[in-house]
Amino acid sequence: MITKIVTITDKTNVNDEELREAAEILRSGGLVAFPTETVYGLGANALDETAAKKIYEAKGRPSDNPLIAHISCMEELPALVKEIPEAGRKLAEKYWPGPLTMIFPKKAVVPYGTTGGLDTVAVRMPSDPVANRLIRLAGVPVAAPSANTSGRPSPTKAEHVIEDMNGKIEMIIDGGEVGIGVESTIVDVSGKVPTLLRPGAITMEMLEETLGKVEVDPAILGPVSGNVRPKAPGMKYRHYAPQAEMTLVEGDMQAVVEYINREAKAAKAAGRKVGIICTEESRSCYPEGILEVIGSREHEETVAHNLFAVLREFDERQVDCIFSESFSRDRLGQAIMNRLCKAAGYHIVEV
């Protein structure tokens, strides 16, 4: 298949003509990758089981890992969900459109092929002007997981999508770099107490401010063993992983730098190519290895924004091992550490 690439001329003033063909592809059961404010999504008609199946094929994604249905405005929600619980209403009012996904009881019209066999459906309303307009023009809810090969770091630029999806899907819309860089926060509002299933840019602190009590799914905090079925099924798979083995180093900054330098030196002596994930503040502390600056500790949004691109960069440079600094788990740090822990396969060293 030849993948058509459409470049958006002006994101701040989207021209519908640039999106019409993409909308038509989505309506007729094809696949289109497009930018959102979180990461690039791989879209298909969420109500069309055959179209959803193509997403799983293109990504190599296990079919019990459910998809998120994207809508463009509140009026499109009732068609998909049986009820909108109070918590869902409050969060929608405050954070939609935006990087927040909520789990609702699904209506029959949403096929099990989209929800991975579950009776609930995950819904998000993206704020990115290209994503939002495309969904509106398509006139159908759009299932859109990240537009990467399953297991690889999520795409935050069109080039990443081209790497993974060229020749496998009908169209890629190039809208430049995404803003946030990590996937949406997921909250289950279908039960008694709202539960955080995946941390993102809408932080735990923000959710609690709006809802009061919020529970945290244990899958966020650590690896899920093979015999439990987590609430957010995607949680059980290895994610965001670079090709090299990665070690996340936690502790006092001085000790972290010393540990990484010692390990980098030993690895280099053993003939291995070493990658180091550092920050603006620590970039001058590492004499050995290939450095990637993930962002500034002063501005955590920069760390989220660059995280996946840095992991892909190490794939490109074919390093054998990666050592990464850690971050606090407050606010956006919870999402950053969740992605880094998964990328490292929970290989964490405390110093």
- Which residues contribute to the site for ligand AMP (CB under 6 A)? 65-68, 103, 115, 118, 120-122, 145-146, 183, 186, 197, 231-235
Query: Please, what is the minimum distance in Å from the beta carbon of residue 154 to Mg ion?
Result: 5
Choose the contact partner of 65 out of Mg ion, ligand AMP, none; CB within 5 to 8 A by kind. Answer: ligand AMP
In degrees and rounded to multiples of 5, residue 181 shows phi and psi of: 100, -15
Residues 6+ apart with CB under 8 A from 57: none
Comparing CB distances to ligand AMP, the nearer of 147 and 337 is 147
Closer residue to ligand AMP (CB): 147 or 278:
147
Closest distance to Mg ion from the beta carbon of 21 (Å): 25
Instruction: Name the residue nearer to ligand AMP (CB basis): 60 or 255.
Output: 60
Name the E strands within 157-289. Answer: 171-174, 185-188, 195-198, 215-216, 245-250, 274-278
Q: Which residue ranges make up the site for Mg ion (CB under 5 A)?
A: 146
Three state DSSP letters for 94-107: HHCCCCEEEEEEEC
Partner interacting with residue 77 (select from ligand AMP, Mg ion, none; CB below 5-8 Å by kind) = none
35 binds, among Mg ion, ligand AMP, none (CB under 5 to 8 A by kind): none
Q: How far is the CB of 148 from ligand AMP (least distance, A)?
A: 9
Q: Is the dihedral of CA 116, 106, 185, 190 positive or negative?
A: negative
Closest CB to ligand AMP among residues 53, 265: 53
| Residue 234 binds: one of Mg ion, ligand AMP, none (C-beta under 5 to 8 A by kind) | ligand AMP
CB of 62 to ligand AMP, least distance (A): 10
Q: Where are the alpha helices (DSSP H) in the chain?
A: 20-27, 49-59, 86-95, 112-115, 129-138, 158-165, 204-211, 253-269, 300-316, 332-343
120 touches, from ligand AMP, Mg ion, none (C-beta below 5 to 8 Å by class): ligand AMP
What is the nearest approach in angstroms of Mg ion to the Cβ of residue 183?
6
SS3 state of residue 179: coil
Residue nearer to ligand AMP on the CB measure, 234 or 275? 234
Comparison of 272 and 342: residue with beta carbon closer to ligand AMP: 342
Q: Smallest distance from the beta carbon of 239 to Mg ion, in angstroms? A: 7
97 preceded by a cis bond (ω within 30 of 0): yes
Residue bearing tokens 């939002």: 132
**Which amino acid, one-letter code, is at 222?**
G
